[in-house]
Structure 1
Amino acid sequence: MTSVLFVVTAADHWTLNDGSLHPTGYWAEELAEPHRLFTEAGWQITIATPNGVAPTVDAGSLSPQAAGGEDRVAALLAYLDTLSSELAAPRSLSDVTVADYDVVFYPGGHGPMEDLAVDAVSGAIMTEALDTGRILGVLCHAPAALLAAKRADGSWPFTGYRMTGFTDEEETLGGLAPKAPWLVQSRLVELGADFVAGAPWAPHMQIDRNLYTGQNPASSGVLAASIITEIAGRA
């Protein structure tokens, strides 16, 4: 059976450049939709967070405007409710053995910009997944977690990798760019990523070797489906 590690932010806020705290967490669709598709594929999923802290869903991701209507909000809430016991007691990242998993998946939300972007344990998990050929799926703001990956010589493991993520344009359109201490796209490019941006809010993903990245919430399903297809092809 294919096993998947979901690495989820434990942050419930994002510290803005004026010191104020923007309430956030994980984005509902980005956790629920891939989790649903992987589950329907018959995969076993383990949820883990920094220090085993129960993650917080970003309330903004459950607004009708963000989710795509009242019916979609109800569907997301219903699915997340089926995961309530797992979300209430996730594993700690420090207890994770990467070799136990075939896929490592990071849903987004602004939360990863607060904790996973500077979490050395998460960075080591990403590096090991990359180096051992496991599929590493990273969605929306979760590519912020790539910033914490580092080799023993101090180099960045993802230099030259083609990837995408939440774009500077999308952050600007969303209204938070002026308050952001840094932007995901800009930071990844500074480190040496080959960043490919799609149209704002439209599904867009990139695959480079075993790194699978999605741009935004709308990319949740296509990213998960591509990972499922790849694993099926390896069977």
Structure 2
Amino acid sequence: MLSYFIFFRIHQKEERRDERTVKLNASTLFNYLVRLIILISLLLITFIIPYSSTIINLFFGTNLLKNYNLILYVHLYLIKMLLNGINGITETFIQSVMSIQQTTQKILFVLTSHDIFPNGHPTGWCLPEAAHPYCVLENHFTIEWASPKGGHAPLDPSSVENFKDDVECKQFLSDNKAKQGYENTKKLTDINVNDYVALVYVGGHGPCFDLSEDKTSIKLAEEFWKQGKLVSAVCHGPAALG
């Protein structure tokens, strides 16, 4: 539920911010391109091809009309022009979609760097509390990862065992892009708030030991909040909010 809340809250903010601006998204662009292709096709079918003999007569004289192959060549040439136009429009559409995808907004997931309880038992961040939001949001946003120390962020082994049959957790653990992120987190001190639209503190017992007292983390959350950006936390994650 938190993941869907984050998704819709961000889009609500964007709609309010850009309510006077018409955004040309991929579906709108595709709609325009289809209309353009249909228009070009109708023009060719309605005017150019049926009247190709008249065009030849006007520009080249009546003698050329005796050659049926010439009219056929004109038809084929016009069809070739249509196909080239469709190809060009399609390439433009693909490039536009790629451009839209490359400007995806980013969400920062913050993990703990603490890996052990005072009694010696291992801890860290909780698997489903990262996996479930990630699986919902990663199709719409670029997810980046950070932790107090940077680099490897310890995953609580008990959460892996407890959720070994969870579909989204298994999907998350097999996701190389996600693994690259949480195994090579950015340091919180290197984070620029302006690069992100939302902040997510992943739960687990670890945040209670380091993020709860991390001045950089607290300042980061405050800056997100001051800029009107979404600040969220899962389960034990609110410990990071001081």
Same fold judged by TM-score > 0.5?
yes
The residue that corresponds to 2:110 in the other structure is 7
Structure 1 stretches of at least 4 aligned residues deviating more than 3 Å after TM superposition: none
C-alpha offsets along residues 173-223 of structure 1, whole Å, 9 cap, x if unaligned?
Answer: xxxxxxxxxxxxxxxxxxxxxxxxxxxxxxxxxxxxxxxxxxxxxxxxxxx
The residue that corresponds to 1:71 in the other structure is 165
Please identify which structure carries the higher helix content: 2
Larger Rg: 2
The residue that corresponds to 2:125 in the other structure is 26
The residue that corresponds to 1:139 in the other structure is 234
- TM-score, normalised via structure 2 length: 0.54
State yes or no: 1:124 paired with 2:219.
yes
**Native 8 Å contact 1:14 1:113 kept in 2:** no
Amino acid at match of 2:115: D
- TM-score, normalised via structure 1 length: 0.55
Distance (Å, rounded) in 1 between the aligned partners of 2:129 and 2:191: 21
**Native 8 Å contact 1:13 1:114 kept in 2:** no
Deviation of residue 36 (structure 1)?
A: 1.1
**Native 8 Å contact 1:9 1:112 kept in 2:** yes
> What secondary structure sits across from 2:240 in the alignment?
helix
Deviation of residue 75 (structure 1)?
A: 4.8
Paired-residue identity, %: 31
State yes or no: 1:38 paired with 2:137.
yes
Deviation of residue 84 (structure 1)?
A: 1.9
Amino acid at match of 1:89: N
What is the number of equivalent residue pairs in this alignment?
A: 137
The residue that corresponds to 1:97 in the other structure is 192
Distance (Å, rounded) in 2 between the aligned partners of 1:47 and 1:112: 15
Deviation of residue 81 (structure 1)?
A: 3.2
Unaligned runs of 5+ in 1: 148-235
Distance (Å, rounded) in 2 between the aligned partners of 1:131 and 1:78: 35
Deviation of residue 80 (structure 1)?
A: 2.2
Deviation of residue 133 (structure 1)?
A: 0.5
**1:1-235 counterparts in 2 under 5 A?**
1-15=104-118, 20-40=119-139, 42-63=140-161, 66-67=162-163, 70-72=164-166, 75-82=168-175, 83-147=178-242
Distance (Å, rounded) in 1 between the aligned partners of 2:229 and 2:205: 25
Please identify which structure carries the higher strand content: 1
Amino acid at match of 1:25: G
Distance (Å, rounded) in 1 between the aligned partners of 2:218 and 2:191: 13
**Native 8 Å contact 1:103 1:136 kept in 2:** yes
**Native 8 Å contact 2:117 2:123 kept in 1:** yes
**Native 8 Å contact 2:151 2:185 kept in 1:** yes
Deviation of residue 127 (structure 1)?
A: 0.5
**Native 8 Å contact 1:6 1:47 kept in 2:** yes
> What secondary structure sits across from 1:25 in the alignment?
coil
